[in-house]
Amino acid sequence: MILAVESSCDESALALLAPDRGIVLERVSSQVELHRPHGGVVPDIASREHLAALPLLLREFAPRLGEVSTIAVTRGPGLPPCLSLGLAFARALAASTGARLVGVNHLRAHVHSPFIALHAENPAGFAAARRALLPHLGLVVSGGNTLLVRLGEDLGMTVVARTVDDAAGEALDKGAKLLGMAYPGGALVERAAQGGDATRFAFPRGIPERADLRMSFSGLKTALRYRLEGMDDAAVAAAMPDLCAGYQEAVIAQLEAKFRSALESGAYRSAGLSGGVANNRLLRARLAGVCARRDLPLRVAEPMHCGDNAGMVAFAALAEPGLPEGEAAAAEPSLGVETA
């Protein structure tokens, strides 16, 4: 069994994975209500809550600790105080159970997460089934990261493109805040955009050149702020569906365009979508359309494995048997797996 610990931001999570069955137990403790009054995650509050939540979550896993041979823990990227708390917790578990300790890169786990369901369907045949889908182009879209990654036949990962400034999820949350919505606001923008006219308000598309796969979202929220400054409260309220639809379209159109260009520039057998923003239904539909036109399978992470979760951390430890043993290293932003 693999027991995974996730504490990179404001979710405390544990998961237990059996290689011959898949994920058998997973739990997440969210801190959204604590951070909502602040309009974003406060690291000190988040780390303090991890300290309280992880031992409580462990109670449900305690009866099966004797079956655990590997402790997998998120090593980064993430908020340093939160990562340190999770690492200390995982070290204590490893010391008490005699299990080996494995550090997992949070972004690599997101790239692997669309394959979790494939493993659950047929654990014995998973390796062959995944091999048939490689090389694979994964789009990771979250509040902290936005990048396109090539997963090769040898499971090596190469960053094809990434945002040069804000992440797409961050742009959606900040746009929601400008519109007077609560944190986190990405899902609220999506809900408000339903029935809106996405063509009424034009918002910038970052880096429009097809040959340039880089993404940019910082100018988007600035454009929204300038637009709102020219409108009174009544006008904003009346135009809310159209504003949200246009703003969301600017984010999704850029992601779709870069995704399509990346597929055209490489030979891929499948594509994937993961990260918190992957729960956006319009984004899923648009990428599905891109892949359908290319007769390419699109694997999307299950909703429970899109946000920060320990299930994907456990699965990454299984999917990459070459992960190093020993103490997990400090947070780092690359996708490489260094000696722990």
Are 289 and 312 members of one domain?
Answer: no
pLDDT at residue number 118? 96
pLDDT attached to residue 301: 97
Burial class (CB in 10 A: 0-12, 13-18, 19+), 303: exposed
Residues 219 and 250 in one domain: yes
Concatenated DSSP letters of 134-164: -SEEEEEE-SS-EEEEEE-TTS-EEEEEEBS
**Among candidates 36, 34, 29, which has minimal Cα distance to 12?**
29
Same domain assignment for residues 106 and 89: yes
H or E stretch at 300: strand 298-300
Give residue 300's pLDDT. 97
For the question of whether the overall pTM of this predicted structure is more than 0.85, the answer is: yes
Relative to beta strand 22-30, strand 11-18 is antiparallel
102 & 142 share domain: no
Q: Is residue 330 part of a domain?
A: no
On whether residue 248 sits in a domain, the answer given is yes
Whether 180 and 245 map to the same domain: the answer is yes
Residues 107 and 180 in one domain: no
Give the per-residue pLDDT at 210. 80
The rounded distance, in Å, linking the Cα atoms of 125 and 137 is 21
Q: Check whether residue 154 and residue 243 sit in a common domain.
A: yes
Q: Beta partners for 70?
A: 2, 100
Domain that holds residue 61: 2-128+304-319
Per-residue pLDDT of the chain (340 residues; tens, 9 = 90+): 999 999 998 899 999 999 999 999 999 998 877 788 888 888 888 889 889 999 999 999 999 999 999 999 999 999 999 999 999 999 999 999 999 999 999 999 999 999 999 999 999 999 999 999 999 999 999 988 999 999 999 999 999 999 999 999 999 999 999 999 988 889 999 999 998 999 999 898 888 888 789 999 989 999 999 999 999 999 999 999 999 999 999 999 999 999 999 999 889 999 999 999 999 999 999 999 999 999 999 999 999 999 999 999 999 999 886 665 443 433 333 454 332 2
**Reduced to 3 states, what is the DSSP secondary structure of residue 329?**
coil
The answer to whether the CB of 243 falls within 8 A of the CB of 227 is yes
d(CA 199, CA 247): 10
Quote the tokens at residue 81: 């105080």
Q: Which of 163, 117, 116, 111 is nearest to 135 (CA)?
A: 111
Same domain membership, residue 248 and residue 157: yes
- Specify the pairing of strand 11-18 against strand 270-274: unpaired
Same domain, 98 and 149: no
Q: Residues 43, 112: one domain?
A: yes
pLDDT of residue 327: 39
- Which CATH number goes with the domain that contains 33? 3.30.420.40
> Which pLDDT score, from 0 to 100, does residue 70 have?
95
Whether residues 17 and 110 fall in one domain: yes
**Based on the structure, what is the number of domains in the chain?**
2
Write down the H helix ranges in the chain. 32-35, 43-61, 80-97, 106-112, 116-121, 126-131, 168-178, 186-193, 218-229, 233-264, 281-293, 311-319
DSSP conformation class of 182: P
Question: If DSSP codes are grouped into helix, strand and coil, which group holds residue 71?
Answer: strand
The whole-angstrom separation of Cα 152 and Cα 131 is: 9
Number of residues assigned to the chain: 340
Looking at the fold, whether 55 and 203 belong to one and the same domain comes out as no
Tell me if 338 is assigned to some domain: no
